[in-house]
Amino acid sequence: MKDLSKNYINGEWVAWSGETIDVHEAGTGQAIARVPSSDRVTMERAIAAANEAFDRWSESTLEARIKVLEQLHAGLKERAAEIAETVCREVGMPIKLATGIQAGLPATVTKTYLDMLPSYPFTEMSGNSEVQYAPVGVVGCITPWNYPLHQVILKVVPALAAGCTIVLKPSEIAPQSAYILAEILDGTDLPKGVFNLVCGLGQSVGDTLIKHPDVRMVSFTGSTRTGHLIAHAAADDFKRIALEMGGKSASVVLPDADLGAAVKGTINNCLLNSGQTCTALTRLLVPADKHDEACELAAAAVAKMTPGNPLEETTRLGPLASAQQRDKVLDYIRLGIEEGATLVAGGAEFPEGCDPNGYFVRATVFGNVRPDSRLAQEEIFGPVLCVIPYTDEADAIRIANGTAYGLSGAVWSGDQDRAKRVAGKLRTGQVFVNGGAFNPLAPFGGFGHSGLGREFGKWGLEEFLEVRALQL
């Protein structure tokens, strides 16, 4: 077992001798590492270090910040194989996908900011005013376990680029890649105190981070329930917040669409990372007269997604990240049956051929799902697809917009202009039109209970900047 009983504070690794948290391997259930269950005093020490370092870093040159990000980018690429295997073991994403996504995306996102920063207008003129974009201050970053390093990078890189200092609390379920990041940053020219890492539970160190008066912004990715608590706590101190939370995204298949392509694209998206993706297309909306055909196509597609050892190159569907998440998903599968939905494929039985101690769940498809059922309304965060019939285009749009969430979505049509028109009516932060590719330069974030603020590109940078006007 790897002993990571330490935090990274003020440019040094600080040993922790208190209680620890075991990190488990998703495919076997075995404990593979231990990290600190840090206390409030430790978090306060990290916040003080970030606050002390802010003046120097906020006044650093853009060239100095770019140099650090170049060093970070090189380190991420150099340790990509280690990052991929680490996240594969913790989260359960198959190693082939983890190499391209869990290890590849952090480097890609860092490179997009390196490309953008030299020409970004940190000052500009508006009439007789010089408008300045200034760093917001000390930023508290709280990140999830499903894409552990990617979500950290989406906060740390633009915050550093903006001139902010950082205290990071990674998920205790999948924290090891954050330690790799700290090791990389420790080898760069980043001044002491600019980046700090404290591991622990939300009710102790997380609560301290979001309520501390020296923390001027909280950037959070995770559940809507936790985001709600953060928003209330931040309001007491008028902190800036950026919240990227849950989703229940609809994939709308219009009558003139290629049904086979639409179902395949939806399944691939829905089952990515075993459904542990906030943008997963978990509701497949199809014309009522094509419902049965869509279910048959979906069943055939998931039959090829047999759960297996995530460390094997041929595995396409890995386990879930924790026993708690597995049990939650199995409860939803049982709920779907109780609610009267048709079980088309999968189910709550343990998949054959998998390690009995691993957190595996079969890819599951339900048909004839009622739009107002819990199965169709609540985020499951597992490999479960709901097929929902609709009567006409207006009905499809109503159902797609009929949840509290609004993070992602998709529209499929043989007519691109029609698809764009319908996509423009979805109350969601992004829409994939006829399988359009993900773009790391486009803004990412949600409507409604899916969040506040945006990540990626210039929008991600601007979350960490305050606007000041000098009247000349």
- What are the residue numbers of the active site? 244, 278
Cα 316 to Cα 280: distance, rounded to the nearest angstrom: 16
Closest CA to 149 of 90, 226, 189, 68: 90
> Residues, the chain, total?
472
CB burial of 124-141 (b: ≥16 within 10 Å; e: otherwise) equals eeeeeeeeebbbbbbbbb
Contact 69, 114 (CB under 8 A): yes
Cα 273 to Cα 356: distance, rounded to the nearest angstrom: 20
Q: 3-state DSSP: the chain helix, strand, coil percent, rounded to 5?
A: 40, 20, 35
The set of residues, in sequence order, having a beta carbon less than 8 Å from that of 435 and lying 6+ positions away, is 261, 265, 410, 412
Residues linked to residue 324 through DSSP beta bridges, in sequence order: none
Cα 251 to Cα 269: distance, rounded to the nearest angstrom: 10
The set of residues, in sequence order, having a beta carbon less than 8 Å from that of 124 and lying 6+ positions away, is 130, 131
The set of residues, in sequence order, having a beta carbon less than 8 Å from that of 231 and lying 6+ positions away, is 241, 243, 452
C-alpha neighbours within 13 Å on the C-beta side of residue 108: 14
Burial of 337 (0-12, 13-18, 19+ CB in 10 A): middle
Cα 190 to Cα 165: distance, rounded to the nearest angstrom: 10
Rg (CA), the chain: 22
- Amino acid (1-letter code) at residue 161: A
Pairing type for strands 215-221 and 432-433 reads unpaired
Cα 305 to Cα 146: distance, rounded to the nearest angstrom: 19
Helix axes 176-186, 148-162, angle to 10 degrees: 30
> In sequence order, what DSSP letters do the residues of 398-438 get, joined into one string?
HHHT-SS--S-EEEE-SSHHHHHHHHTTS-SS--EETTPPP
